[in-house]
């Protein structure tokens, strides 16, 4: 039996994820301690992972245009596609917009 994910569940999941991203951003010392313990990495390694994550995670859930363009380019290379692909053909932001509006 296949589970069905309802739009309201998707919105709640996005809201929870954004809450987690805000925690990571706003509580760096605690986040680094959790990362060290859970990932079994050094303090320096945890700091590097945190810094990288903060460059790629946006607290509003959006994806930087340059990041999205890079991902599209890489996917096209891997799939050997030559045609242009419009962002709206790949991304559906309606649930994110609903989660942002429900703050």
Instruction: Write down the domain spans for the chain.
Output: 8-101
Report the pLDDT value the prediction gives residue 63, as an integer from 0 to 100. 82
Q: How far apart are CA 37 and CA 23, in angstroms?
A: 17
Report the pLDDT value the prediction gives residue 103, as an integer from 0 to 100. 64
| pTM higher than 0.85 | no
Report the pLDDT value the prediction gives residue 86, as an integer from 0 to 100. 81
CA 19, 22, 27, 33 torsion-angle sign: positive
Give me the average pLDDT of each 10-residue run along the chain (103 residues): 79 93 94 94 94 85 84 90 84 90 78
Report the pLDDT value the prediction gives residue 1, as an integer from 0 to 100. 61
């Amino acid at each position: 039996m296949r589970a069905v994910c309802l739009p309201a569940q998707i919105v709640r999941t996005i809201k929870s994820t954004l809450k987690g991203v805000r925690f990571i951003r706003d509580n760096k010392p605690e986040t680094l301690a959790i990362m060290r313990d859970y990932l079994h990495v050094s303090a320096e390694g945890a700091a590097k992972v945190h810094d990288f994550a903060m460059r790629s995670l946006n607290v509003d859930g959006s994806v930087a245009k340059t990041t999205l363009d890079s991902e599209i380019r890489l996917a096209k290379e891997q799939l050997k596609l030559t045609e242009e692909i419009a962002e709206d053909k790949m991304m559906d932001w309606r649930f994110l917009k609903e989660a942002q509006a429900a703050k």
